[in-house]
Amino acid sequence: MKKSLFLIFSLVQITLFGQETIPLYSGLPPYSLAEAPKTANENSGNAGWMTKVIEPKLTVYLPEKSKNTGRAVVVCPGGGYTGLAIKHEGHDMAKKLQANGIAGFVLEYRLPFTEFIDSKNKEFVPLMDAQRAIQIVRENAEKWGINVNKVGIAGSSAGGHLASTAGTHYQKTLIPNPKNTSLRPDFMVLIYPVISFADSITHKGSRFNLVGELSLSEYKELTKDWQTAEKNVEKFRVDEAKILEYSNERHVTPDTSPTFITHAIDDKVVLVQNSLFFIAALQQNKVPVESFFYAKGGHGFGLDNPTATEEWIDKCLTWILNLK
């Protein structure tokens, strides 16, 4: 009997303090093709890299009640809008938040350049999923012990582009919103983020995956050799209006959310100028911004930069908990 009670208690703990996974939509997600396979999202051979997102989902990490601060963060892993670094930029971050009394919600958002998405509307799909995630968190805030005015969004690399798009384009509602739930994140955490789509500093692969005009078959041929893919992508035109639309440093206003940014100065994949331009735009609009730069670390270090003795996440947690 005691063993059965312990098992039941353990299952309740898992539901309350870990891995409840919920779909974003009840039926076919918007702009998903009807013929998309009804299979689960898929990892590659490396369990930390998700290659297919057919059904967008949120994985919920709630803190223990005694530690709960009422704050929550939707976590957007990076991956160049071609995959998701779901472990070290997703679940590991959510667990760290959870351990510090902050609810973490890992977002498996749909990738724009796949055979499962309507190519004419592909640029809207990631932001749609991010807005839906914020909506779900706010509309379930009471159940999950969350303050509706303390819901933030975090993103790494291309996930940082998605998070900063959610934070600068929130007035463009892309999803049904009958309750008029606020889709504006209360704060942003941007980790080595893609911010700008300007030629001089953007990550061209992320830009092309989101707004490039090539067909999927042409794109696959172009990028089959990963060693030359980035240079090949540079050869193809991207609409200038879309470059301006998704260069998020251009869309900062005094109402943009307070932001924490971290980046390594020696990042050769996503140039540090992305963060610097965004910080400048925030400062010019008198939006609170906190930054933590590394001299070294390159790209994709997640929570742990092995070149450093101090970690950005510790500073960031303090910053989140001190937000008013």
pLDDT confidence tier of residue 16, bands split at 50, 70 and 90: very low
Average pLDDT (62-69) is 97
Is residue 159's pLDDT more than 70?
yes
Q: What CA–CA distance (Å, rounded) separates 202 from 111?
A: 18
Could you tell me if 104 and 93 are in contact, meaning their C-beta atoms sit under 8 angstroms apart? yes
Check residue 45 and give its pLDDT: 52
Domain boundaries, the chain: 2-322
Of the candidates 171, 166, 173, 139, which has an alpha carbon nearest to the alpha carbon of residue 152? 166
Please report the pLDDT score of residue 15 as a whole number: 41
Q: Which residue has 């035109």 as its token pair?
A: 237
- pLDDT at site 10: 37
pLDDT at residue 4 greater than cutoff 60 = no
Longest dimension (CA), the chain: 68
pLDDT in tens, 22-49: 999 998 999 998 776 655 566 655 668 8
Question: What residue has token string 């200038």?
Answer: 240
pLDDT digits (tens, 9 = 90+) for 101-136: 999 999 999 999 888 898 899 999 999 999 999 999
The rounded percent of the chain whose pLDDT value lies above 90 is: 74
Q: What is the mean pLDDT of residues 223-245?
A: 76
Mean pLDDT over each residue of the chain, to the nearest integer:
89
- Distance (Å, rounded) from C-alpha 153 to C-alpha 133? 10
Average pLDDT over residues 191-211: 94
pLDDT band, very low/low/confident/very high, at 227 (cuts 50, 70, 90): low
pLDDT in tens, 262-303: 999 999 999 999 999 999 999 999 999 999 999 999 999 999
Long-range contacts of 91-99 (CB under 8 A, 24+ apart): 91/59, 91/61, 92/302, 92/303, 93/154, 93/302, 93/303, 93/313, 94/59, 94/61, 95/61, 96/303, 96/313, 96/317, 97/61, 97/63, 97/73, 97/317, 98/17, 98/18, 98/61, 98/62, 98/63, 99/63
Do residues 320 and 313 touch, judged by C-beta distance below 8 A? no
The pLDDT score that the predictor gives to residue 213 is: 81
For the domain spanning 2-322, the CATH number is 3.40.50.1820
pLDDT for position 174: 98
| pLDDT confidence of residue 214 | 73
Mean pLDDT of the region 186-211: 95
pTM of the model: 0.90
